[in-house]
Amino acid sequence: MKIVFLDRKTLGSDIDLEKFNTLGEVSIYDITKPNETLQRVQDADVVVTNKVIINKEIIDKSKIKLICVTATGTNNIDLKYAALKNIEVKNVVGYAKSTVAQHTITLALHFIQKLDYYKNYVESKRWEKSDIFTHLDKPFYELENKNWGIIGLGNIGKRVANIARAFECNVNYYSTSGKNSNTDFNHMQLEELLKTSDIISIHSPLNESTSNLINKTNLDLLKNGAILINVGRGGIVNEEDIAIALDRYKELYYGTDVISEEPIKKENPLNLVQNKERLVITPHIAWASIEARNKIIDTTFDNIKEFVV
């Protein structure tokens, strides 16, 4: 059994793959460019990929029997053609609920507590020159009794909702599919949720109903001082529109872990935002705690082991 990892670098160098040697002959590549894929998988029985594309041409010119995706999304695989060729495709699910929720809360608290300002205040030696023990020039508020709006109340959205409730927030949600009937939290239509929320976090997939969901037509609905967090997908928030909104007179904050095209391009509108204190971009890491990445590896190992048996 020949097993090929195509983009091991996306799993992190701190993750051990040694146990896969018990399943067969293992070849590991840190990254694989499109023109390298075929050569590397041609003789493979099992292909392990995170973002490397496995299309019809690759399938036709190889002897792949199993494709393991080290993520939940499988849009990089031609699923229909794989099924036609009796190639099994297995992904991993449920590994990121805790880590994404944690990242969501981290981004929100970063803005609420004005951490950039107060960190810079101390590092610039201004506190050393103060005539009082504290410094109150950037007011911050408590989460208690604030309105937290959840867009997409799936597993991750529910985890964030429960954490927000622990902070004694009023939690409301908008169902992007229109099918969620959860009664633990109050359901709202999108317009009402945007108008009334102090913090809004996005946890939905990117599809026809969520593409460009947040744009110039509804960004104006947000309260002054509102915090918008996107840990769903970059295309859900129109990046040109949010970049413009961040530099306008209305106070607005945007924390995102996802960009429409990753890695971020130099010309991305978010790179041109002048009010830097209103924007935090992290490089698609919300999913990637050590625990979550080890869950991915363990599940992938089990997927291959079951297939071999």
For the annotated catalytic residues, the residue numbers are 233, 262, 284
The C-alpha atoms of residue 225 and residue 117 are separated, in whole angstroms, by: 16
Phi-psi region of 289 (alpha: psi -120 to 50; beta: other; left: phi over 0): beta
Tokens of 97: 């609920």
Among candidates 231, 227, 232, which has minimal Cα distance to 279?
227
Tokens 């609905």, residue? 221
The C-alpha atoms of residue 247 and residue 230 are separated, in whole angstroms, by: 18
* H helical segments located in 95-149: 97-112, 115-123
Among candidates 237, 241, 273, 276, which has minimal Cα distance to 256?
237
Kindly report the number of other CB atoms within 10 A of residue 180's CB atom. 16
The C-alpha atoms of residue 70 and residue 128 are separated, in whole angstroms, by: 49
- Computed from CA positions of residues 298, 303, 306, 307, in that sequence, does the dihedral angle turn out positive or negative? negative
